[in-house]
Amino acid sequence: MAQEFDSKIITIFLNGNLHDKCEITWRKNLTVGEIINESKPVFNIGHTVKCRLFDSTGGEIDDDDVEYINPEEPLFLSQGEEFSKNSSLAIYQEIRPLGEGGFGCVKLYRNRITKQEVAIKFVHFNSLESPEDINRVYNEINLLRDLRHPNIVSLIDAFPSNDQICFVMEYCSGGELKNYLIENGPLNEEEVYNLTSQICEAMRYCHQSKVIHRDLKLENILLANKFSTQLKIVDFGIAGIFSVGRRGERSDTGSLLYAPPEMVSGKDNSASPAFDIWSMGCIFYTLLTGIHPFYDENAKNVTSRIVNVDYHPFPDNVSNSWKRLIKGMLRKDPKKRWTLIRVSEHIWKYRMNRNAQDSEDSEENEEVKDSPVRMNSLRQISTPKMAQKSKSGVFKSNSVGEATSARKPVSNTR
């Protein structure tokens, strides 16, 4: 049965030009021809021009569709041409900016139809300096369309609009985990268990889907909202594909503080699960201590620390169970690093019985660094980036970036 929308207004945009619009009063038995004829004078379109009418998904509307039109959904009038994807942005109402960076900006929008709040990331084409940058953008779109997990941010839509690409993303109002840690950290071990369990679940799903993130860091983990600690992993721009038993795609981009020794030394930049395990170990350490394990004000010293696995000593209040876990994740040889399955099982056992001693492995008696660490500088969790190495061996920045959070402005200097 047709819906009744007496006195409702239908908004018509000119196809491909969201600056021009008109409004038509909906009435019973309204036809496509009448909508077009009433719109033409507003858009200064000649009466002999054969126009077409589209809905917000690009579907062409005929007379049988008119009685079921939702007045809250804008329509698009073309002068005979096909639907322009630029027009898709019109179904979203802009609310406020969320942040800005070298790649473009992120804004909070509300879907005019569903009322759902979304974060739209605008990546300007002129900010993409190389073919690799462009590939990263489209790689992220393709990956996120296939990844569906409660701890991975959802890509709702992606489309070009003028000189930019629009990512319509799930909005995470809780902000970055980095900011949460600055405000509340170091975190107690029970809370760290909750957060790390979610990270493990998300990454297990990715690895089972043959996807390696390759840029896991606090800035790329968001809180779904400010009332809970549900996590959402974002920014798959430099993710790589691998197959079991074989190395995957190669890339020299990423964040220096979270990059493993084989990447920093230049020995191996291919996608493998061990890459993400190392980054996760850095994250777990930082959640527990409030500082990054390899932080140093000098980038060369950071590189040296990573290559030599010279992380800062654990403070006394970190339990042996966590020390052992992180020690297993931060091993120089990627083949000897703990697997994701082992990491998950260790965390589960810890949660079940924090005081239980796990004696299944011979390395239990390995020496564990255990001296006090000063916690007076939470700025140490900042994240220098790494990208393609120059001839001098210095990493230069080259990042597209991701942001769907509200708590911190987006920056291309992460």
Residues 96 and 39 in one domain: no
Domain count of the chain?
A: 3
Within a domain: 21: yes
Residues 109 and 247 in one domain: no
Q: What's the confidence (pLDDT) of residue 69?
A: 84
- Domain closes at, from 170, 205, 239: 170
Catalytic residue selected from 20, 55, 62, 215: 215
Residues 236 and 112 in one domain: no
CATH number at residue 146: 3.30.200.20
Q: Whole-prediction pTM value?
A: 0.74
Within a domain: 410: no
CATH number at residue 17: 3.10.20.90
State the CB neighbour count (10 A cutoff) for residue 8. 15
Residues 71 and 193 in one domain: no
Q: What's the confidence (pLDDT) of residue 376?
A: 39
Q: What's the confidence (pLDDT) of residue 238?
A: 64
Within a domain: 391: no
- Domain closes at, from 170, 205, 223: 170
Within a domain: 377: yes
Distance of alpha carbon 405 from alpha carbon 396, whole angstroms: 26
Cα-Cα-Cα-Cα torsion 84, 86, 87, 88, nearest 10 degrees, comes to 110
Residues 356 and 213 in one domain: yes
Nearest-5° Cα angle at 2, 25 to 114: 75
Within a domain: 304: yes
Residues 153 and 106 in one domain: yes
Which residue stretches of the chain have pLDDT < 50? Answer: 1-5, 243-249, 251-252, 355-379, 387-403, 406-414
- Domain closes at, from 33, 58, 83: 83
Residues 134 and 234 in one domain: no
> Structure tokens of 299?
């980038």
Beta pairing partners, 243: 246
Residues 33 and 79 in one domain: yes
Is residue 87 classed as helix, strand or coil in its secondary structure? helix
Within a domain: 226: yes
Q: What's the confidence (pLDDT) of residue 249?
A: 47
Within a domain: 411: no
Q: What's the confidence (pLDDT) of residue 384?
A: 53
Residues 229 and 368 in one domain: yes
Within a domain: 395: no
CATH number at residue 327: 1.10.510.10
- Would you call 215 a catalytic residue per the annotation? yes
Q: What's the confidence (pLDDT) of residue 271?
A: 63
Distance of alpha carbon 364 from alpha carbon 351, whole angstroms: 18
Distance of alpha carbon 79 from alpha carbon 347, whole angstroms: 61
Residues 193 and 339 in one domain: yes
DSSP line for 30-53: --HHHHHHHHTTTTT--TTS--EE
Residues 298 and 210 in one domain: yes
Amino acid sitting at position 131: P
* Domain of residue 54, residue span: 9-83
Residues 323 and 197 in one domain: yes
